Amino acid sequence: MPAIVLALVVGVLFYLGYRYYSNYLARKVYALDASAATPAHTMSDGVDFVPTNKHVLFGHHFTSIAGAAPIVGPAIAVFWGWGPALLWVVAGTIFAAGVHDFGALVVSVRHKARSIGTLANEVINKRARALFLLIIFFLLTLVNAVFAVVIANLFVANPEAVLPMLLQIPLAIGIGQYVYRTRSAALVPTLIGVVLLYCSILLGQLWPITLGFAAEDGFFTDRNIWVILLFAYTFVASRIPVWVLLQPRDYINSHQLFIALGVIVLGVTVGMDKIVAPAINDTPEGSPSWFPLLFVTIACGAISGFHSLVSSGTTSKQLDKETDARYVGYFGAVGEGSLALGSILACTAGVVATTADWNAVYADFASASDGATGNFVAGVANFASNLGVSASLATVFAAIVVISFAATTMDTGVRLQRYIVQEIAEVAGARKLSRSATFGSLVAVLVPLAMALIPGGGKDGFTFGVLWQLFGTTNQLTAGLALAVIAVWVTKQRRNPTAVLIPLVFLVVMTVWALIVNLQEFLNQQEWVLFPLDLIILVLAIWLIVEAAIALRKAWQGAAEQDESTVR
């Protein structure tokens, strides 16, 4: 099948989802009010609470949620065949991710831009807040560790991409200063920034940056040094006001989404690349089953709990008008799904030319996991070469796309982890620490740094596949709890929560099932690090189910009593 056919069909489905289903959510489920004053105005401080143009905010929100996850997850999951992977990406984006991201943003805005963890306390109960804080801490630790490993590996594999990524930082700061101080529109300077970024690829090819002085074995490998440098950078980046670096770089990277998707669509159209991977793959004996593990392997790109942290952590503090939430929240989920679609096309139609070659690349699940990012880069580079771009230039371009998204997510993830650490300190009664941004930032950096570097699973620490398994289950558990908060809030507002409950139930069932499957596997393999971590996450999942059921029952009872009172 020509890949362009699949792209067009999915594009139409995404358009219909945004045009009609998000409109239904905006009117009937979340009841947006264009005249309501948002926290960005009522609590404006020029640092975190900043009224922001919806297009600029979309850029921040999308690139914060995108990262490398909607690329890596589908790139792994096509091992089971492109059919199940694409089905989950499309259905998950329209009926789960859109509901989740949009809803988390609205509920946060309606509650003074409080985080989803605090909202769990207010909407459900104190136990739910404790549950959320635990899950979020696990999730953000894994998010930051995973993306640091992704970037470090890409820097090692593509040293030509290092200089352009370094130059992007002062470029974004310059754009941020210009826009903030002149109060002018960001579009033109940002487009100039994108052009300069891509021009710098030529400089990167002339002066590739490597850490060849580092040891090849032991602790001081190139990969580990890059991980340490990345966390040192994010410590600083997460402390400065959002308009200085985060917003302008996010806006630059949001344009990269459309450029990358344009390259993919135009590339497959011009080259007429065909999907050579099977719709349903006849996997080798002993391979993990796609049902239910597909639904935690593809998290971002279908539905991701990390999105609720961004929606309620940074995005809700910058929303100019309540009605902008539909565009920023739901359309942001569509953008994420589109990136996941691009990953599927790159890894099934772009990476190799024949089915036999594809079967060799995806020989087993371990190969699919270890080669996920490299397969995407190779696939996009092939599509770009169809447009006349040299193979070497196209490869650096594709690597920069992945690195840019992953770096932005790390910036946001560390900033969010600082908030969570301070909130945990407040709950624990350590008021002095809860007010210390330095303490929060140190914990937010050092814990995922240790996770990325700790010995185990390989010479550089835990293998990427191990980190991804832990990330996927924790991420989907976070999404389940966020949906529970949204469902209870919608019910208390006496509106129909069905659109929220359906993805909630499905997600919880799949996540618990996957946790049990992995728990058995870890026990059989005597994985004494993974087994207890998986067990903890399983206990938290069961706790989630109980708390959500109790809260929903009370909300329904309260709504029913209000209806009876109104009738009387």
Where are the strands (E) in 321-397, listed by range? none
Q: Quick one: pLDDT at residue 1?
A: 81
Cα(486)–Cα(504) distance, rounded to whole angstroms? 10
Helix 331-345 and helix 98-110, axial crossing angle in degrees, nearest 10: 150
**Residue 371's pLDDT band (cuts 50, 70, 90):** confident
Task: Tell me the average pLDDT across 98-117.
Answer: 93
- pLDDT band per the 50, 70, 90 thresholds, residue 547: confident
What domains appear along the chain, each with residue ranges and CATH number? 3-567 (1.20.1740.10)
Check pLDDT > 80 for residue 514. yes
Q: Is the per-residue pLDDT at 457 higher than 50?
A: no
Query: Tokens standing for 35?
Result: 């005249």
CA dist 330 and 186 (Å) reads 22
Count the neighbouring beta carbons within 10 Å of the beta carbon of residue 41: 14
If one counts every other C-beta atom within 10 angstroms of the C-beta of residue 45, the result is 10
* pLDDT per residue as tens digits for the range 285-318: 888 899 899 999 998 899 999 899 889 988 999 9
CA distance 223 to 149: 8
Task: Pull the structure tokens for residue 454.
Answer: 């700790």
Strand partners, 2: 274
Among residues 370, 293, 358, the alpha carbon closest in space to that of 72 is found at 370
Longest CA–CA separation in the chain, Å:
80
The residues pairing with 274 across neighbouring beta strands, listed in sequence order, are: 2
For 420-424, 456-460, 519-523, which range has the lowest pLDDT when averaged over its residues? Answer: 456-460
Lowest-confidence segment of 174-188, 203-217, 363-377 by average pLDDT: 203-217
Asked whether the predicted pLDDT for residue 437 surpasses 70, the reply is yes
The two three-digit tokens of residue 543, written as one number: 């706790």
